[in-house]
Chains A and B, each alone.
Chain A
Amino acid sequence: EAQVTQNPRYLITVTGKKLTVTCSQNMNHEYMSWYRQDPGLGLRQIYYSMNVEVTDKGDVPEGYKVSRKEKRNFPLILESPSPNQTSLYFCASSEGRGIQYFGAGTRLSVL
């Protein structure tokens, strides 16, 4: 079954405590992306990756890091989380500009 898997699904943390949200896809897609979803703001792209070792900033990259060492994985790293990063996060993958498949989301609360 084609899947984009994010972990964890829910996370509560405190300001400044480094965290990583993992994302893995089983479709051999070249393109992967991270979004955050906030009420009234829709989906905003954080970072995207066109292939292994190739990443670029989206609209809201500040405070986030990513890496793409393997084709299937695209972790999102928050080195020093702040309360304004409390949000619902989605990972997505696609083959070129085809259908973007989204994960089920990670709800993050930073206290």
Chain B
Amino acid sequence: QQQVKQSPQSLIVQKGGISIINCAYENTAFDYFPWYQQFPGKGPALLIAIRPDVSEKKEGRFTISFNKSAKQFSLHIMDSQPGDSATYFCAATTSGTYKYIFGTGTRLKVLA
């Protein structure tokens, strides 16, 4: 019940295309869902985050879509660029705790 399932494991997209990464959770107590971006040799960095009271959040080319009833959320990268090539992690946590559950990661490669 504590898991966050992330798919796909890897993704190859052409430059200018849309990258979509999906996550699903079971624990309905989760109320904060961040996405992290990690480049090789670096620590993860927060990309964008959403709370379940909104269905979508957009920051530049990055959008989170949230479906509370389906217990799913996804990251969309519009106009994908080679510089977006990285590993992406979704995560979830609950108010009042600082216990984070991460997905297993998606390795994205954007072809020039």
Contact = CB atoms under 8 A, between A and B. Distances in A.
B interface residue count range (under 10 / 10 to 19 / 20 to 34 / 35 or more): 20 to 34
Contact of A44 (B44, B95, B102): B102
Contacts of B103: 42
B61 interface: no
B97 to A, nearest CB: 8
Given A42-B103, A42-B104, A97-B93, A102 B98 contact: no
A33 B98 contact: yes
Interface of B: 2, 6, 9, 32, 34, 41-46, 89, 91, 93, 95, 98-105
> Which among B41, B98, B101, B104 has the greatest number of chain A C-beta atoms within 10 A?
B98
Contacts of A58: 99-100
Interface in A27-61: 31, 33, 35, 40-45, 48, 50, 56, 58-59
A75 interface: no
B2 A59 contact: yes
Contacts of A92: 43
